[in-house]
Each structure stands twice: as C-alpha cells, then as structure tokens.
C-alpha cells in the first residue's frame, strides 16, 4: 500500500520519504504511517522529527503542519537540513518550491 522511510540522526527522526500507492491514497494510510513514526520517535525519546517537502502541494507542507510540523526559516534550518535541500537541487528538484520542517518533541 505504501511506506515511510526514516533515519535517526542528531537525536531526531528524519523522514526521508513517505508514499502511498495512488489507489490507496486518501484512505488514512499516510496519516497512520506518520503517526507511527511519531510514536516511534517518542518511544526513543528523540528531540523531534524533520523532513523536507514541497511548499505548494496541499498533501505536503500543509499535511505535515496539521501534525505539528513547523516550516523552518533560514536561521533555523541548520547544516544537516541545508545539505539535504542542496542535494535535492543537485538532483533536479526546484529549490524555491522546497522547504524543511521540524516537529519538536522536547
Ligand atoms: C502524501 C501521502 C503520503 C498522503 O497519504 P494518504 O494515505 O493519501 O493520506 P491520508 O489518507 O492519510 O490523508 C491525510 C491528509 O492528507 C490529505 N490529502 C491526501 N491526499 C490529498 C490530495 N491529493 N489533495 C489534498 N489533500 C490530500 C487528506 O485530506 C488528509 O487530511 P485530513 O486527514 O486532515 O482530512 C500520499 O498522498 C502520497 O503518497 N502522495 C504522493 C507522494 C508524496 O507526495 N509524498 C510526500 C513527499 S514529502
């Protein structure tokens, strides 16, 4: 149906990718995957979750905001997430449409 891939880095869970097959989208699987990652990070007593996503797709930035993720400004992003965003641009993604987000747990 879908998957969520994440790695633990700098005491945070970084969500690398979340994807649900088109035929199963809109049925709550994405929400469940994200809540599972959140629960995992809480159990591991991590400081938060991070990700990068598209600013202008309703099922990206806005979707994550509803879970408590905040879009990071230039002075909040830090080296790790700046590197992730730069690598995305190097792989052809439009940098002006991408953003980094964090959900703080502690
Ligand atoms: C983003 C994605 C993982 C969400 O998974 P999903 O199973 O469709 O999501 P859910 O059914 O759990 O819905 C979660 C929320 O997203 C919203 N949503 C999902 N698809 C949407 C769409 N096409 N347009 C607008 N909103 C959408 C739902 O309204 C829902 O919000 P609500 O619960 O407040 O009503 C899935 O749509 C997907 O794989 N998209 C393509 C890949 C992608 O964009 N991945 C994220 C990269 S950062």
Spatial strand order of the sheet with 98-104 comes to 2-9, 12-20, 48-54, 98-104, 70-71
* Contact 71 CB / ligand 1 (< 6 Å): no
Between strands 70-71 and 2-9, the pairing is unpaired
- What is the pTM assigned to this prediction? 0.91
Q: How far does residue 8's CA lie from ligand 1's centre (Å)?
A: 23
Reading the chain (106 residues) residue by residue, the pLDDT tens digits are 999 999 999 999 999 999 999 999 999 999 999 999 999 999 999 999 999 999 999 889 999 999 999 999 999 999 999 999 999 999 999 999 999 999 999 8
Q: 2-104 has which CATH code? A: 3.40.630.30
Q: How far does residue 95's CA lie from ligand 1's centre (Å)?
A: 22
| Residue-range domain boundaries for the chain | 2-104
């Amino acid at each position: 149906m879908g998957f969520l891939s994440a790695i633990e880095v700098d005491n945070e869970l970084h969500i690398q990718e979340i994807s649900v097959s088109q035929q199963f989208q809109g049925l709550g699987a994405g929400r469940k995957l994200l809540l599972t990652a959140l629960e995992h990070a809480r159990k591991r007593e991590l400081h938060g979750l991070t990700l990068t996503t598209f600013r202008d797709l309703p099922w990206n930035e806005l979707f994550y905001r509803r879970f408590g993720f905040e879009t990071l400004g230039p002075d909040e992003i830090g080296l790790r997430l700046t590197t992730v965003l730069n690598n995305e641009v190097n792989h052809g993604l439009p940098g002006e449409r991408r953003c980094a987000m964090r959900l703080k747990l502690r």
